[in-house]
Amino acid sequence: MTALVLSNARLPDGRIADISIDHGIITHIGSSDAADRVIDCKNRLCIPAAADMHVHMRDGVQAAKETWKTGTEAAAAGGVATVVDQPNTIPSMETAENFRQRADLAAKNSVCHFGINGSVTADADFLGLIEAGVLAFGEMFAAPSSYGNALTPDVIRDSLRILADHDMLVTVHAEEVLPGEVHSLEEHSRSRPVQGEAETIRLVQDLAPHGTKLHICHVSGTEAFGTIKDSFEVAPHHLFLSCEETTAENTFWKMNPPLRTKKERLALIQNFAKIPVIASDHAPHTIQEKSQPFSLAPSGVPGVETMLPLLMNAVTEQKITLGQLIGKTVTNPCRILRIPAPSLTPGSRADLAVYADTPVKISGESLHSRCGWTPYEGMDGVFPVTTVIGGIPAWHDGEFTSGGGQMWMNAGARQLRRKE
């Protein structure tokens, strides 16, 4: 018998069909035969589950902020099947041994697919990390941020030369940071200006040898769009929040790059079609840490669980299209990462999300990140009622089930594993 059937699912083209799943793969779309388990989707919309190529899962000495278990549960409850962990961890991903320990921790606790990026620093063991199985490298810090120090141009140039020779993707944190303390969201934005973001992107691209695969992280202003030669992402907080739409000293809306003006936020939305990828930059901190004075509070907000619900609500409000959402959260991230993208076709990996019919108010108390808060409090979101990951209903009826996730590695490491 078929292992799982999602019955009465509404496909993106409007058809109502049963989706049969066996051994983690979609085997048939149409009428179904007997199955070990049937989940009635009740004509709700079913789409491929997302890949979030920018998260910080913390854990270890930072477990009070987030763990692999709580972070990937949040991902599954938000319709995300794959997360890519950034390397500014403690310890950082500079060595193959550190990577293996983090991969083991993730494999034991993650309820979704995951990849782990390697660090780009003067001391990083690039070749050892590639062989060990990092998915990509970066975010490479061309500007300082929480738990990430800026690299010199020489280190950037030398690192990119090595990584280009090995056909590795490098993701880039590009900002210019002006001197001085900041005490409000607007001051924070002025200290890390949009113009500096564009200039730093140009600098990194000029330092990169021919053939380097660069992906620019969390672009916060449209000024940089014309500068970027390869791919880039925009974070939901830059689409849905601005420094003018809250109190001046709201540390819970503090992140890097900073929130911009409402005018710039609306410009991002108006240019939504030009954005290749939406990625959450899920970067949780504890309520206690974020409650410090503005200049001391760390930058970063949680977002992996709310990214798709916010975008799905924008679809229901006809501000964006469903095709745009799938392209920017499923197809393009997987293409850039060079991992297979799930789709609603027989033979595809069964990573699927079934969404509720109506939005609800987002509340930190109802979310699953360990940090326990959200910058999107009170905003509307359309959440999945079921998320299938690798053929397993990882999130259904308010409960989590693990077992469907796998680790994504770079192509060279995958080939090496197959030969072994």
Average pLDDT over residues 151-178: 95
What's the pTM value of the predicted model, to 2 decimals? 0.96
Q: Is residue 309 part of a domain?
A: yes
Confidence tier at 420 by pLDDT (50, 70, 90)? low
pLDDT at 147 over 60: no
Q: List the catalytic residues.
A: 281
pLDDT at 148 over 80: no
- For residue 53, the model assigns a pLDDT of 98
Q: Is residue 180 part of a domain?
A: yes
For residue range 269-312, list pLDDT tens digits in order: 999 999 999 999 999 999 999 999 999 999 999 999 999 999 99
pLDDT at 223 over 70: yes
For residue range 33-81, list pLDDT tens digits in order: 899 999 999 999 999 999 999 999 999 999 999 999 999 999 999 999 9
Q: Is residue 98 part of a domain?
A: yes
Q: Is residue 29 part of a domain?
A: no
Q: Is residue 388 part of a domain?
A: no
At 362, list the tokens.
């987002």
Q: Is residue 2 part of a domain?
A: no
Angle value at C-alpha 48, between 110 and 36, nearest 5 degrees: 70
Residues of the chain with pLDDT > 70, as a percent, come to 97
DSSP labels for 131-167? HHT-S-EEEEESS-BTTBPPPPHHHHHHHHHHHHHTT
Q: Is residue 370 part of a domain?
A: no
**Cβ–Cβ < 8 Å for 81, 110:** no
More confident: 73 or 142 = 73
Query: From the CB of residue 15, how many other CB atoms can be counted at a distance below 10 Å?
Result: 11
**Cβ–Cβ < 8 Å for 44, 14:** no
- Which residue segment(s) compose the domain that 146 sits in? 49-337
DSSP labels for 111-129? SSEEEEPBP-STT--HHHH
Angle value at C-alpha 234, between 259 and 136, nearest 5 degrees: 125
For residue range 324-349, list pLDDT tens digits in order: 999 999 999 999 999 999 999 999 99
- For residue 263, the model assigns a pLDDT of 97
What's 108's domain CATH number?
Answer: 3.20.20.140
Q: Is residue 17 part of a domain?
A: no
Q: How many domains does the chain have?
A: 1
- For residue 400, the model assigns a pLDDT of 98
For residue 10, the number of C-alpha atoms closer than 13 Å in the C-beta half-sphere is 8
At 150, list the tokens.
């800026």
Residues of the chain with pLDDT > 90, as a percent, come to 94
Burial letters for 384-411: b for 16+ Cβ neighbours within 10 Å, e otherwise? Answer: bbbbbbbbbbbbbeeebebebbbbbbbe
Angle value at C-alpha 308, between 302 and 313, nearest 5 degrees: 115
Mean pLDDT (the chain) is 96
